[in-house]
Structure 1
Amino acid sequence: MKAHVNVALAVVAAAGLLVSSGCGSSGSDAGSGPVKLTLLTGFTGPDAPAYQALVDDFNSAHPRIQVTMDVQPWDAIGQKLPAAWATGQGPDLATPNFDPGVIFNYIRTNSVLALEPAVGDGDTKINASAFPSAVAKAFTVDGHLYAVPANLASVALYYNKEMFKAAGIAEPPRTADEFVAAAKKLTIGGAKPTQYGISLADHQTIQMWPILQWMAGGDIAGADGCATINSSASVQALRTWADLVANDHVSPVGQTGSDADTLFSAKKAAMELNGPWAAAGFRKAGVDVGIAPVPVGSAGPVTVASTVPLMVAKNTKHQAESLEFLSWWTGKTAQATFSKKSGFPPARTDVTVADPAVEVFASGLPTARPYLSGLAAATKIDTDVYAPLIGEITRGADVRKAADTAAAAINKLTGCRG
């Protein structure tokens, strides 16, 4: 144990994450000024100013608590934060990753604070009941709430209006059958398309493929951790879309999320599944973009819920102030302001959205589902099993055999014995 601790300390020191305003700081302990909190985030994209504006609003309204937002790349946070928090160092608050499943890693090392002392009704409490139920469930482990949503969004269907008009398609697809038909019709150029019907990514991205399964009643794994990736509904949905990619060439194979965005921005794809963070970039690229709900399949309306967990270090010296910040961040006023500035829907279901573009994403939240929610092995399932599976079947592998192999691998990771 001592050797592991020494290695962890060395990693943290080398990473430069032992910030003076973090867990080990003196801050205003001597009573000489405001309590200083550090918030570490990976919000480096075009929505970054909206997060900074929210922090600035908090600081203006709370002169006795001042929060500094430290923005670093997600991969850097993933390398540095676990060791820092596990050894009682690092920031007071952090968004550890854009993958909600990462919270299990920090819970396992007893690095994060359970938030129950701040949960309740009213403006000075974390109103967890106002979060979409699927999100609150994703952040609750063994009856304890460990995170609040730093942001919240659903994935919707982006489409190029000019391409739709040229193809004679008057409206975005509303059903699964219309979705498939549109993807085919909007693909131009045969085996070497000059225009793709849709831009699908399968790794290093917010996952798009689970939506295609959920639409048909399929899934990847159940709440008990047992694989459902090889159920008849899952296999059928995967086969349908794998055939569309491999044989009808509706999308390139093996794209990252960045690749998929670039293709749509370059006006080489007619549709993409994405969140509100993408809208400004697509418009800046000159795309005449429309945004519509995800088409409805046989299982009813469904989409992916995208949320970034915001957590408090277990060993922060400023627990009360950190919890006060989370209560304010998730309050009605802050969420309404953030939605207006960022284009994201509010992280609460009881805040009205006035912007029609934001409303598309807000309307998807009641039926949105976090990817691999509640599974401690979620990250490993995604990187080691699910993403490789999609890569295989879109390159022509037998879907049934690949799904059965994936199911066995998932059950091994989760400990399910069937």
Structure 2
Amino acid sequence: MKKRHATLAVLAGAATVALALSGCSASSSASSSGPVTLKVWTGFTGGDRPGYTQIVKDFEKSHPDIKVQMTVQPWDTIQQKLPSAWLTGQGPDIAAPSSDPNAIAQYVKTNSVMALTNTGSGKDDINTSKLAPGTVKEFTYDGKLYAIPANFATLSLYYNKKLFADAGIENPPTTVAEMATDAKKLTGNGVSGLVLADNQTIQMWPILQWLEGGDIVNSKGCSVLQTSASQKGLSTWSDLVQNDKISPVGLTGAEADSVFSAGKAAMEMNGPWAAPGYKSAGIDLGIAKIPVGVDGKSVTLGSTAPLAISAKTKYPEQSKEFLAYWTSKSVQQKFSLTTGFPPLRTDLSNDSKLKADPTVSVFASQVPDSRLYLPHLDNATKVDSDAYVPLLGKITRGTSVADATKEAGQTIDGLTGCSK
């Protein structure tokens, strides 16, 4: 799953039979005398695809009366065809509508998705109390749950052990203050201390704000960029970029990855999808938890995509069984061990099998401490593209944080309809 090329994206891998997007009826492949066939559309195309393939195979083995056909296609194709397909009842039984978790809202508004009632702790229930933080709220509207997290990823701190040793630093930073100090010390001789992308990337700048106690919006969707805590995080790191040159300015996610892969960056915040490529590039790689913030608490970015059931499916019970299976503890443990990605459950953060894998353990341990980016926010995609990304571009190129956050805050409030 190469996730640094798209904003607000969770590009995980998935499963099995690639079917044409012909829009056939959800019930057309089922026979009254044979097993039910569930059609699933996803945009999961990355390196964790074998894990999703395994979920489907195992589900079919344990549920011989249900078959699953999972179609993998580009996200933009799904976003173009799914709305009308679900409205007319010609679409799949189950789909991941978008890599943006906020996209589920439009399907709720058009009554295109089914409310999930099989929540609880039973064998065929979705145990919402164990799902990653924020995901249940993200997919709940008017008190009803309409989707589950199809996947979940956290960001960790990648570091180049050789560059640390060359700089006389024995261990990765454990506090945000140490990370800032180390970033300065590691910068020089063609090396960036902490490479920071600010566009076409999964966002890591919000983490820097959260570590200082700041945020982007409050629960009402109003900008809080102008608060002292928010400005502190932005000021600290924009100053380090401008004045101490800890990172090149204006990098995309892919460009930041290339800098780290080339051994020209000592640290980078990134997700589990990056580890295989960095190891293949010969980086003496270390992975650590994101350092704790000023309050001594851990926090990192969590990202997800929704998985929902069509309101017009002919097989609601079987579809709900599949989602319950997908989110179950044993399945998520196996998925994580297969792919190297963290599970979407919090009760596996200290699992002995996951802890035995040095890469998986770091990402899995941060699931309980993770936060979603702009959760449950109207116009979240435009808040990112029209306000937050331009803000980062300005403060790393000389605009004062006070001026830039004032302008971005006004844009955000206009997009969300906030009235202070």
TM-score, normalisation: structure 2: 0.90
In 2, distance between residues paired with 1:63 and 1:37?
Answer: 12
- Deviations 1:207-263, CA, capped at 9 Å, x for gaps: 100000000011000111111111111112111111222222211222222222222
Q: Which residue of 1 aligns with 2:140?
A: 140
- CA distance 1:257–1:91, shift in 2 (3 Å): farther
For 2:376, the equivalent position in structure 1 comes to 374
Of residues 213, 216, 219, the one that matches 1:217 is: 213
In structure 1, distance between residues paired with 2:242 and 2:75: 32
CA distance in 2, matches of 1:347, 1:37: 23
Of the three residues 250, 275, 279, the one matched with 2:246 is 250
Matches within 5 A, 1:132-281: 132-189=132-189, 194-281=190-277
Aligned to 2:4: none
* Local SS of the residue matching 2:382: helix
Is the 1:18–1:84 Cα contact (8 Å) retained in structure 2? no
TM-score, normalized by length of structure 1? 0.90
Deviation at 1:305, TM superposition (A): 1.2
Partner Cα separation in structure 1 for residue 163 and residue 76 of structure 2 = 36
Within 5 Å, give how 1:332-343 maps onto structure 2.
332-343=329-340
Cα deviation for residue 287 of structure 1 reads 1.4
The 8 Å contact of residues 102 and 379 in structure 1, kept in 2 or not, is answered as no
Distance 2:96 2:86 in 1: 12
Tell me how far apart the structure 2 counterparts of residues 390 and 78 of structure 1 sit (CA, whole Å). 28
AA partner of residue 137 (structure 2):
K
Please point out which of 328, 334, 348 is paired with 1:331. Answer: 328
The alpha-carbon deviation at position 321 of structure 1 amounts to 1.3
Q: 2:88 aligned with 1:96, yes or no?
A: no
> What does residue 12 of structure 2 align with?
none
Q: What SS does structure 1 have at the residue aligned with 2:305? A: strand
> Counterpart of 2:10?
none
Q: Which residue of 2 aligns with 1:114?
A: 115
Amino acid at match of 1:269: A
User: For the residues of structure 1 that align with 2:76 and 2:37, how far apart are their CA atoms?
Assistant: 25
Look up the equivalent residue of 1:401 and give its one-letter code.
Answer: D
CA contact (8 A) 1:223 1:374 kept: no
Q: Which runs of 5+ in 1 are unaligned?
A: 1-15
State whether residues 48 and 341 of structure 2, in contact with CA within 8 Å, keep that contact through their aligned partners in structure 1. no
Instruction: Kindly provide the amino acid, as one letter, of the partner of residue 156 in structure 1.
Output: S
2:139–2:148 contact (8 Å) kept in structure 1 = yes
| Worse-matched range after superposition: 66-75 or 322-331 | 66-75
Instruction: Provide the rounded CA distance (Å) in 1 between the counterparts of 2:259 and 2:367.
Output: 27
Q: Which amino acid in 1 is paired with 2:182?
A: A
| Contact 1:18 1:90 (8 Å CA) reproduced | no
Amino acid at match of 1:284: S
Deviation at 1:293, TM superposition (A): 0.7
2:387 equivalent to 1:417: no
2:163 aligned counterpart, secondary structure:
helix
The aligned residue for residue 289 of structure 1 is: 285
Distance 1:110 1:257 in 2: 36
> C-alpha distance in 1, partners of 2:167/2:199?
30
Change in 2 beyond 3 A, CA 1:81/1:248: farther
Separation in structure 1 between the aligned mates of residue 156 and residue 307 of structure 2, nearest angstrom: 23
CA displacement, residues 100-145 of structure 1 (integer Å, 9 cap, x when unaligned): 22222222222211112x2122111111111134222222222111
Please name the residue that 1:130 is paired with.
Answer: 130
SS of alignment partner, residue 152 of structure 2: strand
CA distance in 2, matches of 1:252, 1:218: 24
Q: In the superposition, relative to structure 1, how do residues 87 and 202 fare at CA in structure 2: closer, same or farther (>3 Å)?
A: farther
Is residue 130–residue 350 contact of structure 1 (8 Å, CA) maintained in 2?
A: yes
Counterpart residue type for residue 126 of structure 2: I
| Distance in 2 between residues matched to 1:151 and 1:396, nearest whole Å | 38
Is 2:306 the counterpart of 1:309?
yes
> Which segment is superposed worse, 97-106 or 74-83?
74-83
Q: Secondary structure in 2 aligned to 1:244? A: helix
Matched, 1:391 2:379: no
Distance in 2, matches of 1:385 and 1:371, equals 14
Shift of 1:96: 2.2
**Contact 2:75 2:98 (C-alpha < 8 Å) held by counterparts:** yes
CA distance in 2 between partners of 1:376 and 1:89 (Å):
28
More moved, 82-91 vs 101-110: 82-91
Amino acid of the residue matched to residue 356 of structure 1? Answer: P
How far is the alpha carbon of 1:44 from its aligned partner?
Answer: 1.3
Q: How many percent identity over aligned positions? A: 53
User: Matched residues in 2 for 1:77 and 1:165: separation?
Assistant: 47
Q: Secondary structure at the match of 1:170?
A: coil
Mapped partners of 2:60, 2:204: distance in 1: 37
2:186 touches 2:193 (CA, 8 Å); kept in 1? yes
Q: Could you list the runs of 5+ residues in structure 2 that have no partner in the other structure?
A: 1-19
1:326 partner amino acid: L
Structure-1 residue corresponding to 2:11: none
- Offset, 1:358: 1.6
Q: Is the 8 A contact 2:234 2:401 kept in 1?
A: yes
C-alpha contact (below 8 Å) 1:198/1:269 kept by paired residues = yes
Deviations 1:45-78 (A, max 9, x none): 1111211121121122222111122112223333
Q: 2:361 aligns with which of 359, 362, 381?
A: 359
Does structure 2 retain, via aligned residues, the 8 Å contact 1:17–1:90? no
Alpha-carbon shift at residue 309 of structure 1 (Å): 1.5
Q: Could you say if the C-alpha distance between residues 38 and 258 of structure 1 is closer, same or farther in structure 2, counting changes exceeding 3 Å?
A: farther
Mark the CA change 1:371 to 1:40 in structure 2 (over 3 Å): closer, same or farther: same
CA distance in 1, matches of 2:136, 2:77: 27
- 60-69 or 76-85, which deviates more: 76-85
Q: Is 1:51 the counterpart of 2:52 in the alignment?
A: yes
| 1:273 CA drift (Å) | 0.7
Poorly superposed stretches of 4+, deviation over 6 Å = none
Counterpart in 2 of 1:17? 21
- Give 1:392 deviation, angstroms: 1.6
